[in-house]
Every structure is written in C-alpha cells, then in structure tokens.
Structure 1
Amino acid sequence: MPADVPDRLDKAQSFYGRAIAKFGLLSFLSLGVSLAGGTAFAQTTGEGSSPTTGASGGISAPASNAASDPVIGARQGRVSAVQDPGPYFSAPMGADHFFGDWGGIQPWLLDHGIHLLASINEEFFGNFTGGKQRAYSDAGQVGLELDVDWERLAGLRNFWTHMLVVNGHGQNVSRNFGDSIAGVQEIYGARGNVVAHLVSMYGERSFLHNRVDLSVGVMPVGSFFMASPLFCDFINVAICGNPAPNKYTPGNRDWPSANIGAVLRVMPTNESYIMAGIFAVSPHAFNGGISGWALAQDGLGKLSTPIELGWTPSFGKSKLIGHYKLGYSYDNSQYPNLYEDKYGNSYLRSGLAARKEAGMNSMWLLADQMLIRNGEGQSNGLVALAGAMYDDGKTVAMRDHEWAGIIETGKPWGRPLDTVGAMYQHFDMSRSVTLQQESAQELGLPFPSNQWGQVWGVQSHENTYELFYSAHVGRAMALEPDFQYIQRPGASTVFHDAAVLGVQFTVVL
C-alpha cells in the first residue's frame, strides 16, 4: 500500500509476508493484459483476510486507513481512490519496515504501483505438563509477496495482481504431545519442503464505481470467506488464518494451500456486501502438489461454491465498528461416509467400502464488535469476537467449532503499538467419526486417521484457552509471549490436559 496510507498492524494473518522475487512481475504481465479494465475497488471491500495482509501485530503506528478504503471514504461523504491492494477490514502492513525505505527503493516502487514486502516469523513452543510427552518445537516461515497496481505501472485502470510464496520449516509441537485438533503453532508443515511454495497468484479487477470486485486465479478460499484478520492476533492454528473445520476440507482450503477459482463481491450499500465464489476441488492431499505450483492437477472436475453475507456497521460518535458474517458453502464432490457402508452398518466390521455421500455442506457465523475505541483505524480498541462453524459430520471428522475472545490495544497503559488478547475455543467431533473409532476399538483395529491426522483414542470434544501479549520491540518488529491450555488433547481422554508456553517473533523487512 502507498506510504501515505499507514495503519496499525493488528497482526492480520501473522504469517503472511508480502513480496516476491522480480520474476513474479513478468508472470503477471499476460494475466494483467487479459483482465484489465473497469473501475476501481481493489480488495478493500472483500471483508476477508487475504494473502495481501501481512504479518504480526503492533508493528506500524495506529492511523486511519480511510484514504485507502472506499467504504470508509463513502461513510465520510466522499469516494476515496482505491490504492491498497489488501482486503477490507484488514490490518495493513503500513509503510513501516525494519530496513526503512530500503535506501529510497520502496518509495520508487510504490510510485510505480509495485508493493514489495517480506516478513519473517519464528515460533518456539513447548508443553511443560500434560499430553503424551514433554515436547518442544521451533517453526518458522519467510513470506514474500508482490502486489502490483497496473494502472500506475502500465496504465491498465483498476486492475491489480497478487502473488505470495512462502518458505517454512519445523513442525507443530502439538503433534508431538498428542494433539492434532488445535495446533498451538500457526506456522508448520504444508509448505512442501521447497524453496518457494506457491500460496496464491491471482488478478483482481473492479467495476461500477467501487461496487463490484472480481478476483480470478489461484486463491486460498479461506482468505476470502469465513475470515477475519483478528484471528491471527492469536497463534493457535485452529483459529489463526481461518477457523476449523472448513479449511481442512478439499473445497475450502486455507493457505498455504489454495484452489483455482473466482470470487465476486458486490456492495449494495456502504455497510453491506454479498460475496460468492466458485472453486475447483482438488482430490489430492495437496492442492497444486506438494509445492503448490502443479496447477494442472488431474481430477479437478468438481466445484465448491461458497457464499457470504456481511454487515459492517459503526455505532456512535466514536464509530465503533462491527463485522458480522453469515455464510454457506456446498461442495458437489462425493466423499466416503466416516462410519457406514452402503447398508448403514460399520464398514470396518462388514469389510465393505464406505458409503459415498453426495456433496458436503458447511455453514458459519462470525461476529466482532469494537466496544471502546483507542484511536483511529478499524481495530484500534477493545474488540470482542465470537463465532461458530459447522461442517457435514458424516464426511468431516470435526462437526462444529465455537469460539469467543477479546482483544485490546495497549494505548490505555501507554503502549499503543502492543496488543493483548484471550480466547476460548470448543471443538465437537462428529458422531460418525466417534462410531467409526468405537468400531475399530471393538475389532482391535488401529484407529483410522482423518483430516486432522493421527487418532490416539475415541474422539468426542476438545477445549483450548489462549492468552497472549504482543509487544512492539522495534521498528516493524514484535515479540509475542503466548500461553495455551488444552483440555482433552486429541479430543479424547487418552492424555492429560496440556499446558503450553511459547513465543512468536515477527519482523517486516
């Protein structure tokens, strides 16, 4: 985003870095020519937390982003020029970088429509009691992103392209102490052990005086739908980025995986939107292959079609902003029933194949509301958030997920760039997967694994509690101590409750 549009970084998608190597610019040229035209809207009204959102909280100074947000601009009685390629209600990176303006390079790039950014994230976590065993793990990531405003670069009006690659290392310590349901680290695995794992690559075009926005390409579904940048103030991966269980289903991947597809957003009023998408469903464990670059995978004939309604009111003289979302997604693929064969009996007992279920349904309700404002910007204050997500329990091992939390910035105690928060999460496993596991136990068979990995015992539910404090420790740099308590690790009673301590370090270069 332009240097004159800074905003407080609320650690919106804390593991998203923003930049890419120069060759990315060339790869976008042909896409830009084919989609260019229309009127501006950028991703600022999408209400999602997209890959264009950067990492880590409390890094750039609090400030209003009205100049880059057409919705806010309209509320203030004017139509703003769209400059920010990031999503509406994101916490943008702002203009602050650890290396400043890169010796004058950054201002030149921004003047030419090139938003280039990189970030580093490291997380060290360990459980000091409970679980299968004492364990610790360091996991980290380098994120590189390139956003291009093609009007500035080549005169192609109201068209942007976005590209994100990551390089990661380490694994989630939760798997070491016996929990695959709610990993305590947000950075781990799924990056293919390659130098550059492709997360997203898509073009974006806007129409009708900022009312309609179309994105087409390779995109994490969860970066547009059922998303909020507040989620990644927290580190637990069950909420960070995008809430479980939907992001673990083939038709609704969240990053670092993505689906080929398109998203259309329409704003009938300044405080409401409707967003719909269509995505190719990959039958493979890794969309785009292990590296993310294998875009022409076989078996992409089925479709996922999410839709989301959003309301973004502001209340009182302080403009206390709220975000309320209701969504539904249907995947027309066929998936095996977790318990039944074609006669309705246990497929483990009968030896027959599991019955195929036609389609997969998902629903979600998300809400957050600012209660007290501490300064300008869309998330600078005391904010309460809550939500629920439901998936089809016949084919998805986790049936539902509920959460509630609160976040506060540090201005009341003289630390305006800091953030503190607490969250409770509850997970219910599906009745079908519980019956499957009970059947395996009766037959003396190993528990089948599911979307969440290895199973240690008959699963029913799990609770997690998280408390963090993100401290601004230097320019574009944050250090976040984090405590999490996991009741019933692995959603079973096999292991004792686990208490986990960790710290996350992030820096925007």
Structure 2
Amino acid sequence: MKNGRPMQWGRLIGLFCCTVLSFVGLDRTALAQSETSQTLATPDSYKSRAFAMEGMGSFAVGPLVPTLYGNPHLFGDWGGVQPWLTKHGMYFNVSLNEEYMGNVTGGRTRDNVLAGQVAGELDIDWQQLAGVKGLWTHLLVVNGHGRSLSHTLGDSVTNPEQIYGARGNVVAHLVSMYMDKSFLNDRIILSLGDIPTGSFFAFDYVACSFMNVSVCSNFAPGKYMPGGRDWPSGNLGGVLRLRPTEQTYIMGGVFAVSPHSYNGGISGWALAQSGLGKVSSQIEIGWMPSFGKNKLRGNYKIGAWYDNSRYPNLYEDINGNSFQQTGLARRYQAGVSTAWFMFDQMLVRNGPGVTDGLIAIGGAGYSQGNVVAMRDHEWVGLVETGTPWHRKSDQIGVMFQHMDMSRTVALQQESSLSLGLPFISNQWGPVYGVQNWENVYEAFYSLHLMRATTLQADFQYLQRPGATTTFKDAAIIGGQFTTNF
C-alpha cells in the first residue's frame, strides 16, 4: 500500500470554454470547414468543441483549423451581427457560468458558496479578413466573482469548483492573447504570445464535463506550478505543433517562467514582469486513432515539461536536515519536472458526433515531490453524451480521482508537529495536518434546457479532505448554470 493508504482561435474557444466556462450547453451544430475542407458535427457543448483543437491530443480528424461558424447563441444571430462578423473572419462570444456548491457533511466547516464569471473571446481569421493565409489571432478575457469552497472545507488539495474568485478584481482579466500561423496545409502550426500552457499541454476536454477542477482542463499538480500554469494565468512563449499523419502529432513549447504568484500580475495584463529569466520546456506526443466501422475515436498522449528555475526543498536545509529544526537556509533545487499520460476512448457510439457515445477517460500525472507538495495524481471515469435515453443533448458521468502528497512535504509537516510550529502553507494553500493522500468521487447529470443553455447537477464525495485525517469525509452537492449569449 502506497503511503499507508487502503490553435487556432476556433480551437481556443473550445478549449477556453472547456477550462473557463465548464459545461456550456449548446445546440447540436457543425464546425465550419477548415482549410482542409473537412466539416465535423459537434455535440451540445463548447467543451465538446475542444475536440477540434488540433495538436492537443484531441478528436480532430486531420490538421483542422475550425471556426465557430453556425455556433448557437441564446439570442440567436444578434439581429444579423453574428453572420456579418463570421463572414469577415471574426468569431466573438460572450458566455456566463454560475456555480453553486455546499457541503452537507464533513470538512472543516459547513458552508455554501456561489461563484461565477462572464467570459468574452475574440478569434480573428486573417485569411477571411485580410487575405493572410493561415494566420489567426486570439484574445480571451474573464470577469469573475465569488470565492472558493475549498478553503472553508479545509481542503486545498482539490477544488470541487471550476470557477471561483474575482480574477484580480478587474473588469477584464487577461487569460490569453496570442497568434497562430499555420504552414504546409496546417501540418505545422506555430503559436506565439501569452498562452496558458495547460491549454495546450496535458489537456483533456472530456474531463471538463466534471465540475471538480483537478483534471480540467489539465491535471494537478502540474497546472499549479509556475512553469505550467493553466488559465486564468498564462506564460509568455511559443508552441510548435507538427502533424506527421492525421492521427498523430508532436508538440513542443518554451515559456518564460514568472517568479511571482501570478503570471502577468493579478490582472493578467502585466506581461513584462520582472524576473522572467527562466524557462519551462514542454513536449507532448499524441495518437488519435479511430476503431471499427463506427469510428470509435480515441485520444492518447504522453508528455513532460522541465522548468529550470530554482525552487526551495520542502524539507531540507543546506545540509539535508530539517530547516525548521536547524534554522539554517533552505536547500534550493535546480529545476522541477512534471510528466503525464492521458487518454479518452469511445466505447459505444450513440450518434454521428465525435463525442456521441460512451467515453472512458483516465490518466496519471507526476511532479517532482521534493519541491512540489503533490507528487502524483491518477483518475478514471466514464462520460455518456448523445445519450441513448432520447435526450441527445444531455450528458452524464462518473469519475474517481486519487492524489498522493509527497513524502518530502510529509517530513516537513511532521517536523512542524514535533517542534510545535504551525503547518506551512504550500502550493495548494493552508495545511491542517500531516498530508498523505486523498480520494474524490464525483457524479453529474447535465440537462439541456434550451438553445445554448445548460443546467448541471453535481455530487462529490471527498475522502480525507486536505489529504489528512483532521476532518471528516465531506459530501458536496451543487450545480452550475451556463449559457452562451
């Protein structure tokens, strides 16, 4: 027993709403044709639209550069404005997500919270607008409100919500701002700018059907490290994506690493921060097969990144002893590494869309435990979309997650306990005991209400909240409302 336990902007929009807006229920429609003249049917969600994000280990068929042509809005075509915009290569969307959650039992305290955000994004296809082939630019901003349930739960290891916090208390918090340039009929795509690294690497759009954010859109612990941050924080840098075949891709990226708590400052707009001398280098290889006469799509990826910054050891002083006990300076480690394997595979097809069916998802992630409090994270789940019970736009799912904290952070906490010192907060926030492992069980049902609008019910059970035995297991119920204007 371990530790004693029993893009193109059309592509970014799918990605963005997967990570930022959770489950935005959209009417069944089709993505516009790309430069390869391929059109794909998409299920009833922006998240499902993320399959078309070429180079991210997605369900895309070939090197697509999809747009949001035909994307439904609650208010239709805005009196003709949307068709005019798309005709000129501009794809503009405003979306709302509201989430409510409370723990009915367990945790540090009983509490319930309401949190949400409004998000706006603009993709521009410069080939349509100005005749510049293969060039897109992207801008994504959010405005949020509310607070996190995790802090009152006494659990900073996982977060039951996808959306929480005021996003810097600014009108428009910058999430990403970058350009894509494609070459050789989209076989090669170069992206440059302010990019949430987790929106390209270790990305799983299917997992974002679940409200727990630990695997949406990429996994903890990697996305909470400065060299691999996901939304709403980006890193200055670039990504090069290569498609040797229609079913494979190789992707590499280099990003500047900010030594500050927030890349781009609290508002996201302070791109030229001080101390950007170190870099994070990322690589991912993916395979996207299709099996049988029903074209059961799969998505398999393996990757890693290395950040050459120096980070303090969680336990050791310069001589390898407890820095709390000796009072000596902490030992600094040169670099931190993270690795992952992720997959999703359709098992049964229910309809023509690439996600219309029963899909198995899973993965495992690892980060260097002497400087990162969470060492490894495993998950597995099932999602049913295009349902066989005659509600083709609804979705249902179950997932199990397991998270191990590092032995090094446990040594630090045992040292605090023996010395009578308060526990030291780590990358995940306050600590309430010696951390070991935590399990999360989740089930949801997403109900399509009307055009571009979804209501989702969610249940989560957190075993050993905060990866300790300090608090009782927590049962959490909640839901979210999403719509695309």
Q: Specify the alignment match of 1:50 in structure 2.
A: 15
Q: Which amino acid aligns with 2:467?
A: A
Cα distance change, pair 45–295 in 1 and its aligned pair in 2 (3 A): closer
Amino acid corresponding to residue 16 of structure 2 in structure 1? P
Residue number among 53, 71, 91 corresponding to 1:87 in the alignment: 53
Deviation at 1:71, TM superposition (A): 10
The correspondence for 1:219, drawn from 187, 195, 213, is 195
Q: Is the contact between residue 280 and residue 302 of structure 1 (CA under 8 Å) also seen in structure 2? A: yes
Tell me: CA distance 1:398–1:441, structure 2 relative to 1, closer, same or farther (3 Å). same
Q: Which residue of 2 aligns with 1:207?
A: 183
Q: Say if 1:52 and 1:86, in contact at 8 Å, map to a contact too.
A: no
Q: Which residue is equivalent to 2:3?
A: none
Call closer, same or farther: CA 1:256–1:42 in 2, change over 3 Å. Answer: closer
Does 2:324 correspond to 1:359?
A: no
The C-alpha deviation readout for 1:346-388, integer Å capped at 9, x for no partner, is: 0110101210101101000001100011112221210000100
What is the 5 A alignment of 1:175-324?
175-189=151-165, 191-324=167-300
Correspondence for 1:446: 422
Letter in 2 for 1:197: H
Assess if the C-alpha contact under 8 Å between 1:161 and 1:203 holds in 2.
yes
Query: What is the TM-score normalised by the length of structure 1?
Result: 0.87
Runs of 4+ in 1 over 4 A off after TM superposition: 43-46, 63-66, 69-74, 90-94
| Partners of 1:187 and 1:52 in 2: CA distance | 11
Which residue matches 2:361?
Answer: 385
> What is the one-letter code of the residue matched to 1:51?
F
CA contact (8 A) 2:9 2:136 kept: no
Q: Distance in 2 between matches of 1:45 and 1:58?
A: 15
Asked if the contact 2:318/2:331 (under 8 Å) is kept, the reply is yes
Judging changes above 3 Å, is the alpha-carbon distance between structure 1 residues 111 and 220 closer, same or farther for their aligned structure 2 residues? same
Is 1:134 matched with 2:104?
Answer: no
Q: 1:117 to 1:225 in 2, by over 3 A?
A: same
Residues 173, 269 of structure 2: 8 Å contact kept: yes
Report the CA distance between 1:152 and its aligned residue: 1.1
Shift of 1:52: 6.9
Residue 151 of structure 1 deviates from its aligned partner by 1.2
1:60 partner letter? L
* 2:459 corresponds to 1:493: no
What CA distance in whole angstroms lies between the structure 1 residues aligned with 2:244 and 2:159?
39
Q: Are the counterparts in 2 of residues 222 and 241 from structure 1 also a CA contact under 8 Å?
A: yes
Aligned to 2:484: 508
RMSD: 2.3
**8 Å contact from structure 1 (residues 49, 90) kept in 2:** no
Does 2:119 match 1:153?
no
The 1-side partners of 2:374 and 2:38 are apart by 37
Instruction: Call closer, same or farther: CA 1:49–1:147 in 2, change over 3 Å.
Output: closer
Structure 2 CA distance for partners of 1:90 and 1:119, relative to 1, 3 Å: farther
Note closer, same or farther for the CA distance 1:66–1:143 as it changes in structure 2 (3 Å cut).
Answer: closer
Return the alpha-carbon distance in structure 1 between the equivalents of residues 22 and 318 of structure 2. 49
Q: Which runs of 5+ in 1 are unaligned?
A: 1-40, 75-83
SS in 2 for 1:407: strand
Report the residue type matching 2:272 in the other structure. A
The answer to which of 207-216 and 90-99 deviates more is 90-99
Deviation at 1:67, TM superposition (A): 3.4
Instruction: Establish whether residue 327 from structure 1 lines up as the match of residue 292 from structure 2.
Output: no
Residue 26 of structure 2 corresponds to residue 60 of structure 1: yes
Q: Give 1:87 deviation, angstroms.
A: 1.6
Residue matched to 1:143: 119
Deviations 1:466-497 (A, max 9, x none): 00000000110000000000000000000000
Taking a change above 3 Å as real, the CA distance of residues 161 and 213 of structure 1, as seen in their structure-2 partners, is same
1:56: how far off? 4.9
1:481 alignment partner in structure 2: 457
Q: Secondary structure at the match of 2:408?
A: helix
Aligned residues with identical type, % of pairs: 56
Per-residue CA distance 1:192-241 (angstroms, 9 max, x = gap): 11111000000100001221001000000000000011121000011122
Equivalent position SS for 2:410: helix
Partners of 2:299 and 2:36 in 1: how far apart?
16
Amino acid at match of 1:437: Q
Relative to structure 1, is the Cα distance of residues 201 and 86 closer, same or farther in structure 2, using a 3 angstrom cutoff?
A: farther
The residue identity in structure 2 corresponding to 1:315 is F
Out of 407-416 and 355-364, give the one that drifted further.
407-416
Shift of 1:43: 6.5
- Note closer, same or farther for the CA distance 1:66–1:507 as it changes in structure 2 (3 Å cut): closer
Aligned to 2:142: 166
SS at match of 2:394: strand
Q: CA deviation at 1:411?
A: 2.8
Task: Say if 1:72 and 1:466 are closer, same or farther in 2 by CA, change over 3 A.
Answer: farther
> Given that residues 484 and 501 in structure 1 are in contact (C-alpha distance below 8 angstroms), is that contact kept between their aligned partners in structure 2?
yes
Q: What's the CA shift for 1:172?
A: 1.4
Contact 1:128–1:134 (CA under 8 A) maintained in structure 2:
yes
Gaps of 5+ in 2: 1-6, 41-49, 61-66
Count how many residue pairs are aligned between Structure 1 and Structure 2: 460
- Letter of the structure 1 residue corresponding to residue 15 of structure 2: S
Range with greater deviation from structure 2 (62-71 or 317-326): 62-71
Moved more, 60-69 or 364-373: 60-69
* Corresponding position of 1:116: 92
Deviations 1:36-79 (A, max 9, x none): xxxxx847889x963376745473344564834859679xxxxx
Q: CA deviation at 1:168?
A: 0.4
For residues 290 and 311 of structure 2, what CA distance do their matches in structure 1 show? 42
Instruction: Call closer, same or farther: CA 1:146–1:117 in 2, change over 3 Å.
Output: same
Aligned partners of 2:51 and 2:376: how far apart in 1?
Answer: 33
Instruction: State the AA in 2 paired with 1:283.
Output: P
Equivalent-residue separation in structure 1 for 2:174 and 2:137 (angstroms): 14
Q: For 1:411, what is the secondary structure of its paired residue?
A: coil
Distance (Å, rounded) in 1 between the aligned partners of 2:299 and 2:32:
17
CA distance in 2, matches of 1:378, 1:390: 30
Whether 1:469 aligns to 2:445 is yes
Q: Are the aligned partners of 2:30 and 2:39 in contact in 1 as well (CA < 8 Å)?
A: no
Distance in 2, Cα, partners of 1:69 & 1:445: 61
Alpha-carbon distance change, 242 to 505 in structure 1, aligned in 2, over 3 angstroms: same
1:407-453 C-alpha deviation (Å, 9 max, x unpaired): 00253101000000000000000000000000001000010000000
Q: Give per-residue Cα distances to partners, 1:237-270, cap 9 Å, x unaligned.
A: 1112221000000000100001000000001111
Contact 2:454 2:482 in 1 (8 A): yes
Counterpart CA distance in 2 for 1:357 and 1:289 is 25
Task: Using the TM superposition, name which of 457-466 and 186-195 deviates more.
Answer: 186-195
Structure 2 residue aligned with 1:349, among 322, 325, 347? 325
- CA contact under 8 A between 1:336 and 1:395: conserved in structure 2? yes
